[in-house]
Amino acid sequence: MPDGTVLVLALCLFLSCAGQQYQEEAERIMTTTPVIDGHNDLPWQLLKRFNNQLELPEANLTQLNGTHTNIPKLRSGHVGGQFWSAYVPCETQNKDAVRRTLEQIDVVHRMCELYPDTFACVVDSAGIQEAMQSNKVASLIGVEGGHSIDSSLGVLRTFYRLGVRYMTLTHSCNTPWADNWLVDTKEDPVEHHGLSSFGKTVLEEMNRLGMIVDLAHVSLDTMNVVLNLSKAPVIFSHSSAFSLCPHYRNVPDDVLRRVASTGSLVMVNFYNSYVTCSNTATVADVADHMDHVKNVAGIDSVGFGGDYDGVTGMPTGLEDVSKYPALVAELLARNWTEAEVKAALAGNLLRVFKQVEAVKTSLQGTAARETPIAFEELGDTCRTRYGYSDGSNGAGTARLAPAALALALLPSLLS
Ligand SMILES: *[C@@H]1O[C@H](CO)[C@@H](O)[C@H](O)[C@H]1NC(C)=O
Ligand SMILES: *[C@@H]1O[C@H](CO)[C@@H](O)[C@H](O)[C@H]1NC(C)=O
Ligand SMILES: *[C@@H]1O[C@H](CO)[C@@H](O)[C@H](O)[C@H]1NC(C)=O
Ligand SMILES: *[C@@H]1O[C@H](CO)[C@@H](O)[C@H](O)[C@H]1NC(C)=O
Ligand SMILES: [Zn+2]
């Protein structure tokens, strides 16, 4: 045997074989308990790269490259459940947000139709478990940002019927009814101190429908108001720990304690900027966040929310969705038990979802919320006011300048 080989074997014995052993252990656990991840932006990549044309040869998800996500990577990463993000930028607010959100919902449904051996679109906790048992990636839809409902309870309910099972109350902008995290950096003004009265109605309706409330991206006040009022546990679909990296997208310890007391869940984000507050990070840095959430909120409050394909700048060792086992190996090396690892991988999300479904069941018979947002609270002028006025005048008059108002009234004066 050449000397080099002996040296390598000796090093392996003392160093890396332990690592190898944890990696194998991680793969073994994940074969029966794959990860359910809280947030992946592949649909956004499909829009940006292909304008959602899934049948273009270069959009084939078995060969897709240049993204964090494709089918072979999902398979090697033991991904068994994924909330696919129906994300549309804040720029669409008061413009084409609803249409674009519908298109992102559609593209997820078409992923399931085109790759039925890989994806199973499901809408409840039982569906996740069935898909996982048949070795499919249980595919769910999360709408990332309350601007997507355009302040409409009817749109919210319609999204639910289309399979949307969480909504992040804001993205990185205030809506006419909820404040986002940029309020805490003072880049955006405080408008609602959390939720407006209509925002509380949206929350009640989500509880009634059985749609999970997601607090990633919201302000501290919004987190606390929702944790006070929600009848069901909530999730942070892709947020890390503020005390390890003081970025306002992360969750501070006092909120972590309320996550614990409400049976809620923090699905840890891997993005370098939220993990180390810098441009670089490692698997160990992400494991530090998981350890921190576990230590402060308890093992029942920890999950995975990679944010793959939503950000550029993932930790070394977690470059794409094939790498989840490396993080699980790191947790095992830190003496997480198999039961703890399984809770973080899948058990905690399933528990929260079942609880959300139980609240829905308990509220059956409760009428749908009907009170609309006040017309004056809508943030834009390009709206008709059907339903708000006496019904005879479809044009918005609330914010028209006096001259335009006179013009708008002219036809009715003449008739
Ligand atoms: C990525 O995919 C395209 C289209 O299938 C192919 O032409 C290209 O060579 C691939 N690039 C790499 C680095 O694999
Ligand atoms: C993707 O490529 C694979 C392998 O070449 C092929 O079998 C499959 O039909 C393609 N799927 C779509 C939707 O284009
Ligand atoms: C939440 O409830 C607690 C205790 O009832 C109260 O002290 C706190 O002010 C409330 N927070 C918000 C933001 O409503
Ligand atoms: C894990 O447990 C072993 C054996 O009990 C102990 O020697 C080791 O220090 C622990 N490692 C960590 C990171 O806690
Ligand atoms: Zn996000």
Task: Give 172-211 pLDDT, tens digit per residue.
Answer: 999 999 999 999 999 999 999 999 999 999 999 999 999 9
Q: Assess whether 41 and 175 both reside in one domain.
A: yes
Mean local confidence (pLDDT), 41-68: 98
Ligand 3: residue whose CA is nearest its atom 4: 228
pLDDT of 8 higher than 80: no
Domain-located, residue 248: yes
Domain-located, residue 22: yes
- Looking at the CA of residue 335, tell me the nearest atom of ligand 4: 1
Unique residue bearing structure tokens 């679909």: 237
Mean local confidence (pLDDT), 334-351: 98
Angle at which helices 220-229 and 253-261 cross, to 10°:
20
Predicted pLDDT at 410: 43
pLDDT of 101 higher than 90: yes
Among the ranges given (3-7, 82-86, 140-144, 261-265), the one the predictor scored with the smallest mean pLDDT: 3-7
**Which CATH number characterizes residue 11's domain?**
3.20.20.140
Between CA 400 and CA 406 the distance in angstroms is 9
pLDDT of 391 higher than 60: no
Predicted pLDDT at 390: 56
Q: Assess whether 401 and 286 both reside in one domain.
A: no
Confidence of residue 228 (pLDDT cuts 50, 70, 90): very high
- Residues 11-49 have pLDDT tens digits of 556 666 778 999 999 999 999 999 999 999 999 999 999
Best CA proximity match to 85, nearest among 62, 111, 124: 111
Is the beta carbon of 284 within 6 A of some atom in ligand 4?
Answer: no
Q: Assess whether 89 and 127 both reside in one domain.
A: yes
Domain-located, residue 377: no
**Full-prediction pTM beyond 0.75?**
yes
Mutate to test the pocket of ligand 1, among 65, 67, 71, 73 (most ligand atoms within 8 A of CB): 65
Domain-located, residue 379: no
Ligand 4: residue whose CA is nearest its atom 3: 335
Q: Assess whether 103 and 221 both reside in one domain.
A: yes
What is the number of structural domains in the chain? 2
Predicted pLDDT at 17: 77
Is the beta carbon of 224 within 6 A of some atom in ligand 3?
Answer: yes
Domain-located, residue 366: yes
pLDDT of 285 higher than 70: yes
Q: Assess whether 41 and 165 both reside in one domain.
A: yes
Q: Assess whether 397 and 328 both reside in one domain.
A: no
Q: Assess whether 165 and 78 both reside in one domain.
A: yes
Structural domain that includes position 391: 384-415
Predicted pLDDT at 246: 98
Unique residue bearing structure tokens 């790759």: 115
Q: Assess whether 318 and 409 both reside in one domain.
A: no
Mean local confidence (pLDDT), 392-403: 43
Q: Assess whether 398 and 367 both reside in one domain.
A: no
CA of 325 to the centre of ligand 4 (A): 20
Q: Assess whether 343 and 407 both reside in one domain.
A: no
Q: Assess whether 153 and 92 both reside in one domain.
A: yes
Give the list of residues 6+ apart from residue 16 with CB closer than 8 angstroms, or none.
none
Q: Assess whether 280 and 322 both reside in one domain.
A: yes
Mutate to test the pocket of ligand 4, among 21, 295, 335, 340 (most ligand atoms within 8 A of CB): 335
Catalytically active residues are 39, 41, 144, 171, 217, 238, 307
One-letter amino acid at 173 equals: C
Domain-located, residue 45: yes
CA of 126 to the centre of ligand 2 (A): 29
Give the list of residues 6+ apart from residue 378 with CB closer than 8 angstroms, or none.
94, 151, 176
Domain-located, residue 330: yes
CA of 236 to the centre of ligand 4 (A): 30
